[in-house]
Amino acid sequence: MDGSRKEFIHKTVAMLKEAETSLPVDVMAALQNALNAETNERAREQIKAMLENVKFAGNKGLPICQDTGTPIFYVHVGRSANIDFDVKHALYIAVQKATEVIPLRKNAVHPLTRELEDKPLLDVIYEIAEGDQIVVDLLVKGAGSENASMLKMLNPSADIRKFVLETIVAAGGKPCPPIIEGVGVGSTFNGCAWLAKKALFQSLNKEHTLLEERLLKDINSLGIGPMGLGGDTTALKVFVEMADCHTASLPVAVNIQCWANRRASFEMGR
Amino acid sequence: MPPVESAIHAIGDELFSLETPIKISNIKKLHVGDLTFISGVIYTARDKAHAKIRRNRAHLPFNLEGGCIYHSGPIIIQTNEKYRVVAAGPTTSARMNEYVPDVIKLGVRAIIGKGGLSDRAVEVMKGRCIYLAFTGGCGALAQRAIVDVLQIYYPELGETEAVWKLKVKNFGPLIVAIDSNGRSLYKDVENYSHRKLHELLG
């Protein structure tokens, strides 16, 4: 059915536009709360610039950041959804369109030659869900924060908190703090990385667990602050996702997202 | 935003705005932690542009004497023969650490970026150049302060990696993160966070 493919592409382009040119309400509220609580004057200037930037970008319909990132599509396919088109190809076409109309930066290069590839860059993860709908969640991920992310196969007796905090200290101002941190604990090498990334799709309004609360408190005591220039606000949120793992393993992944936590979603019925 | 009419303006007790070409005497007036803005001409340069500047340093098509380099890979599109800036926030400066001595030799007096530079780069900058931190992710604020796209150099590197000569007015807010005395805000923060980490893991 060509109509549903067209609708899907149209909705994906609109979702990309929303994500790239605005921030979700929960992220704006978290930044505003951070500004109110921040005691460091320089840090306050940084957060004020962030808030002003988002407002200005929104009014002008411009991307918040010139690193328009890699769009990560988390596609939930309903068990009885009737999809008769190539979803990955439709997403590819949508990113290509969005790159022209928003516009987005062409970020794809060959990994070895580093030559610019004239094609869109995207990541797609599928999950089978209940129902007859297709739900697409989008996370836009810049390179600065992705580059500061880390995965380690720890010794089962090792200290997870130590690895998490060391990763944040090593990252300093590079991932554009205040960050949102996704921590994956358990599963397998690849499963753990996905747990950490999946965590970042969540609303910042979600309540912290005790472990998350403790990690957030520790991270914010490090004094790194917005953009690594010092301050009380290094992280806005910590999400920990866990899964069982092999008795001899302890995979831990820290996936860092910048303050410009660009997310959007859409759903499409049968 | 503060008005900028001459080389330097005192705004309140602390705020000075820079204008290009930048005089050494003016960068010496700025200290770590100060808030500032810049007006005049700035040149964008990322990894590939720096490599090219190093290779072609004897015959550059632009003059960096008293100049300002901006670590940024902007989105700039061409419509009807005219360039339009879409977004132009800063990129991570650490990737350009090894090129700092090259641009200093060419007379660069200010580097705008995010995340800071290595100890070695800071050492080379002493007395000659300052580092100004611009808030990461603020591509739209940067766009607002760019009043004209004057020229593109090395277009073969692509729009992101090319050198763009930009006319800016009150570009910022910028924080003096490395001053001409070689004091680095990042170093202070790094030392503090390492000490804190040690305490936490005790």
> pLDDT by residue (tens digit) across A193-233?
999 999 999 999 999 999 999 999 999 999 999 999 999 99
Of all residues in chain B, the one with the smallest CA distance to A63 is B87
Interatomic CA distance for residues A221 and A255, integer angstroms = 20
CB A257 within 8 A of CB A23: no
Distance CA A23, CA A43 (A): 20
Cα distances (Å, whole numbers) of residue A238 to A193, A222, A235: 15, 15, 7
Cβ-nearest to B193 among A45, A52, A223: A223
On chain B, the residues whose CB falls within 8 A of the CB of A62 are 86-87, 139-140, 143
Chain B residues with beta carbon closer than 8 angstroms to that of A64: 87, 137, 139-140
Query: Are the beta carbons of B87 and A68 separated by less than 8 Å?
Result: yes
Per-residue pLDDT reduced to its tens digit, A109-148: 999 999 989 899 999 999 999 999 999 999 999 999 999 9
pLDDT digit string, tens, across residues B69-88: 999 999 999 988 899 999 99
Q: Is pLDDT at B109 greater than 50 in this prediction?
A: yes
The verdict on a CB contact (< 8 Å) between A162 and B185 is no
- In this prediction the ipTM stands at 0.92
pTM here is: 0.93
List the single best residue of B197, B198, B199, B201 to mutate versus A (max A Cβ within 10 A).
Answer: B197
Q: How far, in Å, CA of A225 to CA of A179, rounded?
A: 10
Among candidate residues B9, B31, B50, B59, the one labeled active-site is: B50
Instruction: Please tell me the distance in Å from A223's CA to the nearest CA on chain B.
Output: 6
Q: Which residue in the set B138, B173, B190 is minimally distant from A172, CB to CB?
A: B190
Predicted confidence (pLDDT) per residue in A43-71, tens digit: 999 999 999 999 999 999 999 999 999 99
Whether B9 is catalytic is no
Identify which of B87, B62, B77 has the alpha carbon closest to the alpha carbon of residue B145. Answer: B87
Q: How many helices (H) and strands (E) does chain A have?
A: 8, 8
* Percent of residues, chain A, with pLDDT higher than 70: 99
pLDDT given for residue A82 in this prediction: 87
Please provide residue B53's backbone torsions phi and psi, each rounded to the nearest 5 degrees: -60, -40
Closest CA to B122 of B67, B66, B178: B178
Nearest by CB: A56 against B89, B140, B158: B140
Average pLDDT value for chain A: 96
